[in-house]
A and B are shown apart, each in its own frame.
Chain A
Amino acid sequence: MSDIVEIRILPPLAIGRLGSSATPLENYTMEIADPVGYRSLVPAPTLVVDPVTGSVSGAAAPASVSFRDAQGNIKPVCPFLEVWMLLAGAKTLTPLTMQALKSLNADEMDVSWSVDVGNIKAFRRTGDPNDKIIASIAAFNDHGIKTLAGQCANFKPGKSLPFGSVRYLKPTAAFPQIRLRFTPASGKVYGPRAGDPNIADDVYDATRGSWTKFRDNDGNPPPSRPPSTEPGGIYANVGGVSRGYLDDECDGMVQVQVTLPGKTLTAVARITCGPPNFAPDGLPIRTVADELEQIELGPSVLGPVPMAEVGSIVRRALETVRLMNTAALNSPSVNSMASQDTGAGRAAEPIFDPSVVDALAIRARHESVLLALNSGTMAWFSTVLRRYAEVGDLSDDGRRKMPGMMRGADGTHLALTRRQAAKIDAAALEIAPETPASNSSPDTLTPTNLSAILYHAQGNPPVAHPSSAISNAFPGLEMDFRNVWRRVFVGIVLHEADNFVVAVDPNASAKLRALIGQRLISVNGVSVIGVLQGPASPRGPVVPLPPNENAPPNDPMAGKTNLEWSNCLADALQMLGKSVNCVFVPQGGGKQTKISLEVRPFFEAGTGVIKRELLEPGELTQSLCSPWQNDYRECSCYYWAASRPDYVNIEARVDGTSAGHNWLQRDRNAAADKVYIVDDFADQRLVTYEQLFQNWEHLLKFEIGGHDSE
């Protein structure tokens, strides 16, 4: 055998999902049998790991797909990470196997792994490095279960927070590929106070750390306090003061090292984890996979696009919107995009004509668009898409563009990635013939970022893949993808969700240090801010919206909104390693600073792994809710409905409108006239915060076909 010149871990980003069952979720595929209906979940070959030996003992498909075990506990998603090799002179990757190692006078013991993960949600708020919870496992090459025990300087003596485990699987003749498996934690909540029924363990020492005293929008924060997350206040609190709760999510890196005679090869990948996808027969409209594809391939699309790619986007829009109570969310009198817009000075009005927003009507409309798309008629659809720079358009026309009623990563109305929009634009002109299936064998892969990004590891269910992870992050579910942008320019650190500089590198020049607190307003002449406009009074004319009354005088953001980094930096991302011209302006207005900054390479070459320099362990999830269960109750914008449903068990009333339940409501009356309870954070008819902390796993239901399932 030829020499190995490089190795890879695939997938480059694996998503674990919490659950307390000892049985990992089996593998399945999502099949589209009904052109406009729900996807079917079809059992697929599942790698079963012998708990004693740590080897894969079988790969049969289960009889059925079930998300809970016999005791009702949720099966966690425990992704496999595979090691691949590039041989000298080869153009494709092949699996690194026991046999390959043997042929190079090595064996499985010459493979070692190390893992660094973290949960730094508290640190993100307090700014105290002692609030970081980090679990590191130094190099290991045995096949035992390695517990990821999160350590924190502000924990009580002897306490740790379990993040789950990893295991180097023992290769066998039947399953010879080198693999690691990540098993996430159970989804418990931790805190400071013993005896608190909401928590699994009192780990946090309130006498040492300030997490239990933290409050967003503190009138007198300490100088070390980082700027607030956006949204702010997304942590378990009483009257705005943190309860000191933590969850057992984490994110970070795994590294494999293969020692061969004369050399050592290494590769890395990232892991993260989040809650289960509770509507697993659909996918979100905008996902981390869409982001990664845009980063890799750019925002433009050349030439015709296959219908399957465009159809996927429209189908995902349907899969989100059919789980939303669009009639309720259309109203400015509930927590919705309509009410959020009033914060920008826009008049409180429904987004759409109330006549057309019932769930049945919206679903029928989306289904018909998908059907028309499937028959190749698309030209008009691109005209109704919201473009990323238009998110500040809060006029009737602007808010009614697609996607509707959902929030984007910049806090305003959601826009697709520019690449997604470009595909739809291209399809309006011409549809490409379907690409024939690749002729390469399933055991080979081209060593490109894109093939890595798209890769599904054997045995991993679809929900382990970035295509299942929300990316219209505000802040997100499996990760807050906005964090990847913070260090995109060498030397400075941007806020993940706002356009100002929060820090610079330790060795930064004086010119860079002067940028701290300033706002980035353009990159290579492309603005990163958008104008806010809309009617200031009901049915009034569209006008520039007035600045927030709390805004500082001469605020350059007055009447404006920052645009999400993913889209407004998409062009700059094509200048990797090169410099771009950036313009900054002080927060109080004043002289602009023009400076050339280098764009940091995004991926480890040929891997699809987000570079270590962009994200330290814990940073991908740091701005999510703490604990995540908090978000499930209070973020009632419901724009993640494809993962965290809103409106379920929908059926037609005799008056032709829909009836159904709020996914969180406890009384799922089966009566003919179901009642949907609108959330207001406090309504006790919905699952409460405490119930989520203590028992989310058994209270929240999986939805299949839009109806309560397991």
Chain B
Amino acid sequence: MKSPRSRHLLFRSLSTGALHTSQTAGTDAVPMHDPPLAPRDEAVFLLNIAAEVEHAVMVQYLFAAYSLRDPSQFTDDQAALVRDWRQVIAMVAREEMGHLVTVQNLLRSLGAPLSLARDEFPMNTGFYPFAFRLEPLSKNSAAKYAFVEMPPIAAATGIDGVTAAEIADITRRADEDNTGQPVNRVGKLYEQLKTIIESLPTTEFSSSSVSQQARFDEWGLGQHDILILSVGKRSEALEALNKISEQGEGPVTAGAAADPGSHFQRFLNIYRHFPEDNSWQPAYPTIGDPNVRTSVTGVDNPGQITQSEARLWAQLLNARYRRLLMTLQHALEIEAPAPTDLKGTARGLLISWAFSEMYQLRSIADLLFTLPATAAVGEKRTAGPPFEMPSSLSLPTLEADRWRLQSSMLQSAEMIVTSLAALPATRGADFLKGMADADAEAMQIANRVASQ
């Protein structure tokens, strides 16, 4: 069943006016709400879609990056490749995070709520660049990522020796990895957004909201590849959309794609060097689409993690993921201090907590890839980070209650940590202890602030 958001999504062909339920039905189709909305309303709807796409793509790239094995297992040449691939894909994931955060700023500037929701395993509406799959990196998935970043075929031919045959292979593999569906380009979404934004009066954009928006100086860690742009006026909204689509869509010109640092070339390099013959295994043999849903008898759930330790770690990852999303929202609800203000606000602490969750997600993900997915004898598949969405992303209205939620989330994580610590031999015992200690400190602070 489609989510409420997807149910209202249609694609209108610019040339014929025909409506489609999928973008794949027409290359000139633009997304829209069904029924049509007032311009600001439509813009907010499409920004919600954009947020969902960025979020989903980011999670998939993270999974792919984390799925690469520890380089120390390989020869020097192979290790260098694996390190580079992990870095490339993680970099792209960080860029997607930047896009997600900038989209939140766009929403904020229009006076709309933040949007961090995404469908868990959405149907392929044709809106996502590719179907949502949490899969280890493979030659096919590398081809898929390269295809998304590729300029138009005619322009791509010749870049770095790319031939028509190679493009055909990339395309075939990308579609194969995308369960037979063609891989899309998300540029249309941002083009439509720009069209609508251009039509909005300047008064629709709030400059006073900037003090609550995410700032590069808060989140970017000095990495200017990560686009986190403040939006206080219409021109800034358009600039943000231009930059996101430029970075995320891939090059529209051969010249840009020819840059060795372009996403296209970097993913092309992964595709080219990824072993086809299984002579070596860069990625863990991870269970596809891992999850910790409790299976119902008779309901097929091939990705279910059932090995006890792995299941607990996967649940803990979900708990940290939940806290990351909630803390990000909470941070953006608190006004940032003025540049000359010696006295800060709780926003900084929440930002630090959000980063802490990001680091912990990575640490737990790395650990999950070393654990068996099930307890079946001879199980060769490993577990992986499920990145399952929490049951709710609603933030309490009152500030004190938001801190109570912080405390609750930490307590919930603590329950899982306690279960893990009780296992006879848990991997990552030191990490678990450190996490527990940091959480205890955070809980103390949260309780104190909640007491206001």
Contacts and interface: CB of A to CB of B under 8 A. Distances in A.
A355 B434 contact: no
B434 A34 contact: yes
Nearest to B331: A355
A652 B348 CA distance: 13
B272 interface: no
Nearest to A368: B356
A674 to B, nearest CB: 13
B297 interface: no
A368 B222 contact: no
Interface stretch (B5-13, B52-60, B278-286, B339-347): B339-347
Interface stretch (A56-64, A206-214, A356-364): A356-364
Interface string A34-72: 111100000000000000000000000000000000000
B84 to A, nearest CB: 11
A656 B366 CA distance: 32
B300 interface: no
Contacts of A401: 222
Given A375-B367, A654-B451, A35 B434 contact: yes
Given A34-B434, A36-B438, A371 B359 contact: yes
Interface string B337-377: 11111111111111111011001101100110000000000
Contacts of A651: 448
A361 B445 CA distance: 11
Contacts of A377: 359, 362-363, 366
Contacts of A35: 430-431, 433-434, 437
A654 to B, nearest CB: 4
Interface stretch (A106-114, A232-240, A346-354, A598-606): A346-354
Interface stretch (B200-208, B213-221, B408-416): B213-221
B347 to A, nearest CB: 5
B294 interface: no
A361 B221 contact: no
B434 A374 contact: yes
Contact of B438 (A360, A364, A379): A364
Contact of A331 (B342, B362, B363, B367): B342
B342 A327 contact: yes
B63 to A, nearest CB: 15
B33 interface: no
B451 to A, nearest CB: 7
B433 A34 contact: yes
Contacts of B222: 384, 397, 400-401
Interface string B86-129: 11001000000000000000000000000000000000000000
A362 B445 CA distance: 14
B363 A364 contact: no
A652 B86 CA distance: 38
Interface string A362-386: 1011011111101111011001100
B352 to A, nearest CB: 4
A375 to B, nearest CB: 4
A379 B221 CA distance: 14
B349 A656 contact: yes
Given A36-B437, A377-B362, A655-B345, A355 B351 contact: yes
A227 B355 CA distance: 47
B217 A396 contact: yes
B352 A656 contact: no
B58 to A, nearest CB: 16
B346 A372 contact: no
Nearest to A370: B434
A258 to B, nearest CB: 47
B72 A430 contact: yes
Given A360-B349, A377-B359, A377-B366, A371 B434 contact: yes
Given A35-B437, A376-B366, A355 B356 contact: no
B416 to A, nearest CB: 16
B98 to A, nearest CB: 15
B26 interface: no
Interface string B402-435: 0100000000000000000000000010110111
B336 interface: yes
A328 interface: yes
B71 A358 contact: no
Contacts of B253: none
Contacts of B360: 368, 371-372
A90 interface: no
Contacts of B312: none
B444 interface: yes
Contact of A372 (B90, B336, B362): B362
A379 B355 contact: no
A358 B218 CA distance: 12
B407 to A, nearest CB: 12
A371 B339 contact: no
B86 A656 contact: no
A657 interface: yes
Contact of B353 (A364, A374, A384): A364
Given A331-B342, A355-B348, A375-B363, A364 B356 contact: yes
B20 interface: no
Interface in A1-60: 34-37
A353 B215 contact: yes
A134 B353 CA distance: 54
A360 B367 CA distance: 28
A539 B380 CA distance: 55
A355 B337 contact: yes
Contacts of B337: 354-355
Given A36-B438, A367-B438, A655-B346, A375 B431 contact: yes
A652 B449 contact: yes
B336 A355 contact: yes
A551 interface: no
A429 interface: yes
Contacts of B40: none
A379 B449 contact: no
Contacts of B350: 656
A100 B337 CA distance: 70
B430 A358 contact: no
Contact of B344 (A327, A383, A397): A327
Given A35-B430, A379-B87, A655-B449, A361 B351 contact: yes
B371 to A, nearest CB: 14
A541 to B, nearest CB: 14
Contacts of B163: none
B355 A365 contact: yes
A358 B215 CA distance: 16
A160 to B, nearest CB: 48
B16 interface: no
Interface string B297-331: 00000000000000000000000000000000000
- The residue in A365, A652, A656, A657 that gathers the most chain B C-beta atoms within 10 A of its C-beta is A656
B309 to A, nearest CB: 16
A383 B224 CA distance: 12
Contact of B452 (A37, A365, A655): A655
Contacts of A365: 352, 355-356
A356 to B, nearest CB: 4
A659 to B, nearest CB: 10
A350 B449 contact: no
The 8 lowest CB-CB distance pairs between A and B, nearest first, are A656-B346, A35-B434, A368-B356, A361-B348, A353-B217, A375-B363, A372-B359, A654-B452
Interface of A: 34-37, 304, 327-328, 331, 333, 349-350, 352-358, 360-362, 364-365, 367-372, 374-377, 379-380, 383-384, 396-397, 400-401, 429-431, 651-657
5 contacts: A34-B437, A349-B339, A355-B348, A371-B434, A652-B444
Given A354-B342, A655-B449, 12 more contacts: A354-B341, A354-B344, A361-B352, A364-B438, A368-B359, A372-B363, A374-B431, A377-B363, A377-B366, A379-B86, A431-B72, A656-B403
